[in-house]
């Protein structure tokens, strides 16, 4: 089974870290392929960048040359998943939702700890749309941007642990979701400091995607996620993109 794990930003090192995190949990026989969008932002921290990512991710998948069995959109709280579902016949899993459904099996309520405060409403909105909001105790921000996780990991971890503790003690969360595709590998630290299970969305999404494939299930095509109607579409996938680089 081959699963495409698509980063939402254009930073290749983040794609590599995400793919490594996915491979660490993948079942024997599952091949993980990491994809990076050809255009968009080096880190996605807001709606405009996220809409760019939605198209960038779709473009990356549309241009992928070869068969695959499932796609994981590896951005937390981002736009775009529904478009992939229309475009593809294989299952599509968003890490925001995979982390949430996993967390809901582990405790009465869960919290998400993410990067910047400005991304909190995006995550809240995605959970609301996914019908996974009611057991979400809070979405908290560490205050550090995505790329800081690579640059100064100690400081990032300290901030994430601090917010996770507040989520447990103040918001009554019983599980923590790491709210950023780039937080892979922090689970143990946060668990050790808070005493609660910690869910990273990428490995969670790998198990969900593998499960759907094994169950022989894929996106329903009767209504919302039916294939796009045949019509004139200009500029997708972005053919001109090649010349323009």
Positions 17 through 76 that interact with a copy of itself (CB under 8 A): 25, 27, 38-43, 45-52, 54-56, 58
* Interatomic CA distance for residues 77 and 126, integer angstroms: 6
The token pair that represents 156 in the structure block: 């990032």
Q: Angle, nearest 10°, between helix axes 153-169 and 187-194?
A: 40
Q: Does 91 bind a copy of itself (CB under 8 A)?
A: yes
Q: Does 148 bind a copy of itself (CB under 8 A)?
A: no
Toward a copy of itself, which CB reaches closer, 70 or 159?
A: 70
In whole angstroms, the minimum distance from the beta carbon of 213 to a copy of itself comes to: 10
The token pair that represents 201 in the structure block: 């969305």
- Judged by CB under 8 A, the chain residues 202 through 231 that form the site for a copy of itself are 203-204, 207-208, 210-212, 214-215, 217-226, 228-229, 231
Which range, of 14-22, 153-161, 170-178, touches a copy of itself by CB under 8 A? 170-178
Q: Are the C-beta atoms of 92 and 6 separated by less than 8 Å?
A: no
Q: Are the C-beta atoms of 201 and 96 separated by less than 8 Å?
A: yes
Q: Which of 143, 178, 150 is nearest to 45 (CA)?
A: 143
Task: Kindly write out the interface string for residues 98-127 of this chain, putting x where it contacts a copy of itself by CB under 8 A and - elsewhere.
Answer: ---xx-xxxxxx-------xx-xxx--x--
């Amino acid at each position: 089974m081959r699963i495409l794990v698509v980063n939402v930003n254009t930073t290749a090192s983040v794609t590599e870290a995400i793919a490594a995190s996915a491979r660490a949990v993948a079942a024997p026989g599952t091949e993980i392929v990491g994809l990076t969008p050809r255009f968009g932002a080096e880190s996605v921290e807001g709606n405009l960048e996220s809409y760019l990512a939605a198209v960038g991710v779709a473009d990356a998948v549309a241009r992928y040359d070869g068969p695959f069995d499932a796609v994981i959109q590896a951005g937390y709280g981002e736009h775009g998943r529904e478009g992939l579902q229309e475009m593809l016949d294989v299952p599509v899993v968003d890490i925001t939702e995979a982390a949430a459904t996993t967390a809901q099996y582990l405790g009465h309520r869960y919290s998400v700890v993410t990067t910047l405060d400005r991304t909190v409403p995006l995550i809240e909105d995605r959970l609301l749309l996914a019908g996974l909001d009611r057991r979400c105790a809070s979405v908290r921000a560490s205050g550090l941007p995505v790329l800081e996780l690579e640059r100064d990991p100690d400081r990032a971890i300290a901030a994430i642990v601090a917010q996770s503790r507040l989520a447990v003690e103040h918001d009554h969360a019983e599980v923590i979701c790491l709210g950023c595709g780039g937080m892979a590998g922090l689970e143990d630290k946060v668990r050790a400091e808070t005493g609660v299970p910690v869910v990273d969305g990428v490995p969670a999404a790998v198990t969900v995607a593998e499960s759907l494939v094994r169950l022989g299930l894929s996106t329903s095509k009767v209504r919302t996620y039916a294939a796009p109607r045949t019509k004139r579409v200009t500029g997708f996938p972005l053919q001109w993109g090649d010349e323009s680089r």
